[in-house]
Copies of this chain bind each other. A is one copy, B any other.
């Protein structure tokens, strides 16, 4: 077996047209009139799309498995039946106002690799699997990435199964109700060994499109911290309360927000700071605001920078001592991806003569959890205008195919070890 020709064979067998058809077929489940997709986790549309994927994977000669959180695995056996598999994949659920690619692209790319493997007959020592992780988006059932996190940390399962949506339906109830639809798909335990995990995904930001680069070698996922700042004032009549008698919560909040934006400007290119939500109480045109609550989303690949920004936020709220308070509501440390996987992806792009750049992921992904379980990496392709979680989400088909070829080459390299 010649590794170089194997890689040429498998990447040559990736079929851009077939990939485009699959993306379109998958987008038909939960299609929105505006061209987007509404396929929230564990809805009938989500289950129907999973059944479609099971049948498609089998048509490429793969074995289908599932686990107790509803993750699917499409396995192409390797020459060494007992070796831990090399796994790719992503999620098939979407936001209610989702596009055709967020998550779905990573699943479609994996299936296209299975098709190309079937067509080319390229052999590999380790099994290659495509995973479809349950409920990455977290919009119907919070938190997101339930499938990937329960897989890597099975003790989370019971809590996830009991999680209800706003109508009171639980994850466990939905999975049980859909069980007959997957009766022919054998169950596997959570947390099975994985040799390596590689996920393809759209960037969901404008960086690669702006740079004119096709392949993103993802360094890792930024650390994220969420804060809520509450500012108290005293409600008063807008007409009868002089300036000196006011304790205007929105005025104080505006000063704090100005400081937040200044801290954003003072940071490096990789810093992200967003005040996404701001509510004013009582919120009446002629009442001086009594309370403001606002969120701050801070991201950076370095924990030390996140610490420094948090210190600055504390100073900004302390400047309104007794009236403003800062609460950290979430902290997700930065995740660095495995150096060997990154090298593999970079070399695959180079061999395929594709432009590539190192990039940090600003969004969360299933890979964030897999990275705690096995060597993990991600391949990004550009998002037109950086749009995502939006029906207008788009990536050129040629870029989707390029990412799939890099994935195919990377999986084969990893599966030969």
Contacts and interface: CB of A to CB of B under 8 A. Distances in A.
| Copies of this chain, whole number | 2
A254 B250 contact: no
A408 to B, nearest CB: 25
Interface residues of A, number: 58
A402 to B, nearest CB: 20
Interface stretch (A162-170, A185-193, A237-245): A237-245
A48 interface: no
Contacts of A243: 264-265, 269, 271-272
Interface stretch (A22-30, A109-117, A273-281): A273-281
Interface string A288-319: 11000001010100000000000000000000
Contacts of A297: 238-239, 285-286
B274 A286 contact: yes
Contacts of A275: 250-251, 289
A275 B275 CA distance: 18
Contacts of A251: 261, 275
A285 B226 contact: yes
A224 interface: yes
A388 B206 CA distance: 51
A278 B241 CA distance: 20
A312 to B, nearest CB: 16
Contacts of A258: 254-255, 258
The listed residue with most B CB atoms (<10 A of its CB), out of A236, A255, A286, A363, is A286
A179 interface: no
A389 interface: yes
A138 to B, nearest CB: 11
A245 B386 contact: yes
A213 interface: no
A389 B205 contact: no
A235 interface: yes
Nearest to A255: B258
A205 B286 CA distance: 13
A16 B289 CA distance: 36
A278 B278 contact: yes
A175 interface: no
Contacts of A390: 235
Nearest to A235: B390
Nearest to A388: B237
A7 interface: no
A367 interface: no
23 contacts: A204-B237, A204-B240, A205-B237, A206-B240, A222-B239, A224-B239, A237-B386, A238-B272, A238-B299, A238-B362, A239-B299, A241-B386, A243-B264, A243-B269, A243-B272, A245-B386, A276-B280, A276-B285, A277-B283, A277-B284, A278-B280, A279-B279, A279-B283
User: What 4 A-B pairs are tightest by C-beta distance, nearest first?
Assistant: A205-B240, A239-B362, A240-B362, A238-B274
Interface of A: 203-207, 210, 222, 224, 226, 235-243, 245, 248, 250-251, 254-255, 257-258, 261, 264-265, 269, 271-272, 274-280, 283-289, 295, 297, 299, 361-364, 386-390
